[in-house]
Amino acid sequence: MPVIRIAEKPVNVNEEGFMTQYDEWNEEIAKELAAQIEIPLTEEHWKIIKFLREDFKVQGETATSRRVQTVGGVPVKEQFALFPKKPAKKMAYIAGLPKPKGCV
Amino acid sequence: MTPSIVPNFGSESTDRKLAIICSKGNLDMAYPGLILANAALGEGVETMLFFTFWGFDMITKSRMNDLQFSPAGNTAMHLPGHNMHIPQSMMPAPGMTAVATHMLKKQIADLDVPEVPDFLDQIVAAGGHLWACRMSADMNKLEMNDLRDDVEGIISASDFIEMTEGAQLLFI
């Protein structure tokens, strides 16, 4: 698996560029990942990213859009507004988590 | 160290479109169209659903909470987690549809997949478009106020074909 430099740190990623080591992530890295896919991070974005990080720690897998709505409390419509077109994957990418596995 | 790798999330404006025709009103056959519509929207694909014949029940207010699953005639049906089949001759027994519907709803809920009306809420929130079939509405003597409020219109088959020009199409 490749190692790349993000926010001055070496970071393990998969062949698509998603981070593979939960503990290598920090907020500086998140900012740089978000900038690379042209998402300016606001408080609302951070709320979702922090939910995804906490949820992954407990569940061991990345929350789907559905779960971000039902458990994280951010409606699907808002997720699409904050992370346009492909919210589930973009949220996971910035949060340093794998793509969600669930279908819904 | 490898140079930077950024996932390809595609361009902001994709012209990929998906049209899904939902023609079944059984609980089990309502889901494939909804799951695929939801997945397509999550990938940034413009998605339109057309509800026709029995699929009309999915958007009819008086019916949408009461879709059922019958194992009768479904030779693939087996008990969850087992390979054991119940003989088809027993399937029409009284209460069998209620039991099977209850079991299927539980299995779906266990996966945190929403019930049909909630699922359509999510699809509309994600930008999906719902359309109702003119002929089905006429046959069932239904009008717009009998349907979910987010159904955009009752249209003919030719209207739907026209508005989905260039789309990939699924008939379920």
| Per-residue model confidence as pLDDT tens digits over B15-42 | 899 999 999 999 999 999 999 999 999 9
Does some domain include residue B74?
A: no
What does the alpha-carbon distance between residue B44 and residue A59 come to, in Å, rounded to a whole number? 27
Q: Tell me the chain B residues in contact with residue A15 when contact means C-beta distances shorter than 8 Å.
A: 5
pLDDT > 90 in chain A, percent: 86
pLDDT at A28 over 90: yes
Does some domain include residue B58?
A: no
CB pairs under 8 A between A and B: 81
What does the alpha-carbon distance between residue B127 and residue A37 come to, in Å, rounded to a whole number? 21
A36 is catalytic: no
pLDDT interval class at B124 (50, 70, 90): very high
- Residue A89 region by backbone torsions, left for phi larger than 0, else alpha for psi between -120 and 50, else beta: alpha
pLDDT in tens, B66-93: 999 988 888 888 877 778 888 888 888 8
The pLDDT mean for chain A works out to 94
Does some domain include residue B46?
A: yes
- Quick one: tokens of B76? 């693939």
Give me the number of domains chain B comprises.
1
In Å, the largest CA–CA distance within chain B is 67
Does some domain include residue B109?
A: no
Q: Which residue of B has its CA nearest to A102?
A: B111
Instruction: Give the least confident one: A5-9, A58-62, A72-76.
Output: A5-9
The bridge status of strand B151-155 relative to strand B17-22 is: unpaired
Q: Tell me the chain A residues in contact with residue B4 when contact means C-beta distances shorter than 8 Å.
A: 4-6, 17, 36
Instruction: Please name the member of A13, A85, A88 whose beta carbon is closest to the beta carbon of B12.
Output: A85
Q: Which residues of B103-136 are buried (b: 16+ CB within 10 A; e: fewer)?
A: ebbeebeeeebbbbeebbbbbbbbebbbbbbbeb
What does the alpha-carbon distance between residue B55 and residue B107 come to, in Å, rounded to a whole number? 22
Name the catalytic one among A10, A23, A40, A103. A103
Does some domain include residue B38?
A: yes
Interface of A to B at Cβ within 8 Å reads 2-6, 10, 13, 15-18, 36-37, 64-67, 69-70, 75-77, 80, 84-90, 93, 102-104
Domain, as residue range, for B167: 30-50+117-132+161-172
| Average pLDDT over every residue of B84-112 | 88
Chain-centroid distance, C-alpha B132: 13
**Choosing among A6, A101, A103, which should be mutated to test the B contact, i.e. which has the most B CBs within 10 A?**
A103
A27, B49, B112 from A33: Cα distances, Å? 10, 35, 29
Does some domain include residue B72?
A: no
Query: For A64, how many CA atoms within 13 A lie in the half-sphere containing its CB?
Result: 14
pLDDT at B14 over 80: no
* Cβ proximity of B56 and B136 under 8 Å: yes
pLDDT interval class at A45 (50, 70, 90): very high
pLDDT at A67 over 90: yes
* Cβ proximity of B55 and B151 under 8 Å: no
| Average pLDDT over every residue of B44-67 | 95
pLDDT at B11 over 70: no
Angle between helical axes of A27-36 and A87-94 (0-180°, round to 10): 140
